[in-house]
């Protein structure tokens, strides 16, 4: 603090000194004419009496000057026009017009008399060094007091912010600065608090994801270990070929499940880190929706479900990344097929602004209102029904949300007409400011 205080004080003092010097040597010469007018008007009565006194003493002017010199602080002398040629044409013209003029330093005054002579008055400097030193010392002290007050006020707030940053760096992620709105560094403190909240939420999500990953990995790994143990227990006595084939198929399915889980985790991680650049191209909406519906049609047929696909809107094309948008729509369709009782409705619509709305609705049990937001979190399983909605590993809806955010859109969950879940993806039209990268996705 002392170093900052000294630097600020030195800067302020030097600035004040430079301003005083600039006024004295730069501004005042530029305003000489205006200042002369002011001085001439303020001493108008004094000049009138002085000129009248000397004009009445035509013969005895030397004695009159002596008496003036004895009773005044100025030194007086009578000079001619040739002695003031150094004043310049403008002031010489004023003298000829009978007007008083002043020198550049303000110490010399020239008053024209009736007979053509000029009374030169030179003002002697009064020795006021002590007074000036005292005045400048008081000014310096006042500046120091103001600087100390200002610096201390900011130092206290910055110290609180520094302490909050230190505690946050030591692992206390709930630490916040929480400065008053009247603080001059309130915006900085608010940015710190927002950053700390985002980091804390990110760390919480990371811990939850690690916990979910560990939980999801345990089941297939345990099944793999159990299957391998069964094969080893047979030893040389080979089991029935059909049983051995079944056990190998079970091991293969477990390995495939692990591979799918790792693939889903890599996809979500790349989306969150912005490692998947958007490839925006015009897409025929109806064809994209029909291709996704064709993929899930077999699963829907096996469950005796009716798959209703509709596309409406004034525009047949939409600018997006077809690979990612189709992936998001496919995840929602598969979730709907898992939860529907009889019907899955898939609809696409574009409006006059070019906004694309994709809707997937089922007639299943639906999702409780309190879980509508958390269901998009990775590995969030609040119950068996929600596990079916969240996907096989609890990552499907998290991927859908990230894809929507990557396109500058959003995904929401509500209740359908039959009480089931109704997912809506809204992607803005080409007029919106969308950049082909995912590096600035919101955390929520």
Level-2 CATH architecture, domain 196-273: Orthogonal Bundle (1.10)
Q: 72-76: list long-range contacts, CB under 8 Å, 24+ apart.
A: 73/123, 73/124, 73/126, 74/109, 74/121, 74/122, 74/123, 74/124, 75/121, 75/122, 75/124, 76/119, 76/120, 76/121, 76/122
- Delimit the domains of the chain by residue range: 31-123, 196-273, 281-427
- Global pTM value: 0.51
Strand boundaries in 194-305, DSSP class E: 281-284
- DSSP one-letter code for 124: P
Nearest CA among 428, 408, 424 for reference residue 416 = 424
Q: Residue 358: its pLDDT value, please?
A: 94
Helix (H) or strand (E) holding 76: strand 74-79
Task: Report the C-alpha gap between 411 and 401 in whole angstroms.
Answer: 6
Helix then strand count (H, E) for the chain reads 13, 11
Identify the residue whose tokens are 């044409």. Answer: 89
102 φ/ψ angles, rounded to the nearest 5 degrees: -130, 155
Q: Residue 367: its pLDDT value, please?
A: 83
How far is the CA of 137 from the CAs of 86, 129, 132, 272, 360, in angstroms? 38, 12, 8, 62, 79
Identify the three-state secondary structure at position 201.
helix
How far is the CA of 206 from the CAs of 171, 202, 403, in angstroms? 15, 6, 19
**What is the dotted CATH code of the domain comprising 281-427?**
3.30.565.10
Same fold, 196-273 and 281-427: no
Q: What does the angle CA 86 – CA 87 – CA 92 come to, to the nearest 5 degrees?
A: 115
Q: Residue 345: its pLDDT value, please?
A: 93
Task: Chunk the chain into consecutive blocks of 10 residues (it has 444) and report each block's average pLDDT, rounded to whole numbers.
Answer: 70 82 70 71 77 73 78 81 84 84 80 84 74 82 82 81 88 86 83 89 77 71 78 64 75 77 73 72 91 91 91 85 90 90 92 90 85 75 48 72 89 86 89 44 39
Q: Residue 126: its pLDDT value, please?
A: 63
């Amino acid at each position: 603090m002392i170093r900052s205080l000294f630097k600020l004080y030195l800067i302020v003092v030097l600035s004040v000194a430079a301003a005083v010097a600039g006024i004295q040597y730069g501004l005042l010469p530029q305003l000489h004419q205006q200042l002369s007018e002011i001085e001439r008007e303020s001493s108008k009565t004094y000049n009138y009496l002085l000129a009248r006194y000397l004009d009445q003493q035509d013969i005895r002017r030397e004695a009159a000057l002596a008496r003036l010199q004895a009773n005044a602080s100025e030194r007086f002398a009578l000079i001619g026009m040739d002695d003031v040629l150094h004043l310049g044409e403008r002031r010489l013209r004023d003298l000829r017009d009978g007007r008083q003029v002043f020198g550049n330093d303000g110490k010399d005054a020239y008053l024209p008399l009736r007979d053509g002579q000029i009374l030169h008055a030179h003002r002697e400097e009064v020795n006021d060094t002590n007074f000036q030193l005292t005045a400048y010392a008081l000014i310096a002290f006042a500046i120091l007091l103001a600087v100390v007050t200002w610096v201390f006020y900011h130092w206290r707030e910055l110290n609180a912010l520094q302490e909050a940053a230190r505690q946050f760096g030591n692992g206390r992620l709930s630490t916040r600065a929480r400065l008053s709105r009247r603080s001059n560094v309130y915006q900085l403190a608010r940015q710190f608090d927002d950053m700390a909240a985002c980091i804390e939420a990110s760390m919480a999500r990371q811990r939850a994801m690690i916990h979910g990953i560990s939980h999801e990995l345990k089941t297939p790994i345990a099944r793999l270990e159990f299957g391998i143990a069964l094969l080893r227990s047979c030893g040389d006595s080979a089991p029935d070929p059909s049983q051995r084939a079944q056990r190998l198929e079970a091991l293969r399915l477990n390995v495939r499940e692990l591979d799918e889980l790792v693939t889903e985790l890599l996809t979500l991680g790349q989306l969150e880190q912005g490692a998947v650049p958007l490839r925006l191209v015009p897409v025929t909406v109806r064809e994209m929706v029909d291709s996704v519906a064709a993929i899930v049609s077999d699963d829907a047929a096996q469950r005796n479900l009716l798959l209703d696909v509709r596309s409406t809107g004034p525009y047949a094309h939409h600018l997006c990344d077809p690979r990612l948008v189709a992936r998001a729509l496919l995840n929602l369709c598969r979730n709907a097929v898992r939860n529907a009782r009889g019907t899955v409705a898939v609809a696409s619509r574009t409006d006059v602004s070019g906004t694309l709305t994709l809707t997937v609705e089922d007639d299943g049990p639906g999702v409780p209102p309190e879980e509508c937001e958390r269901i998009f979190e990775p590995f969030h399983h609040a119950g068996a029904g929600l596990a079916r909605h969240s996907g096989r590993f609890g990552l499907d809806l998290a991927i859908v949300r990230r894809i929507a955010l990557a396109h500058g859109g959003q995904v929401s969950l509500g209740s359908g007409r039959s009480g089931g879940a109704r997912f809506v993806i809204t992607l803005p039209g080409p007029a919106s400011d969308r950049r082909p990268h995912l590096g600035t996705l919101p955390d929520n």
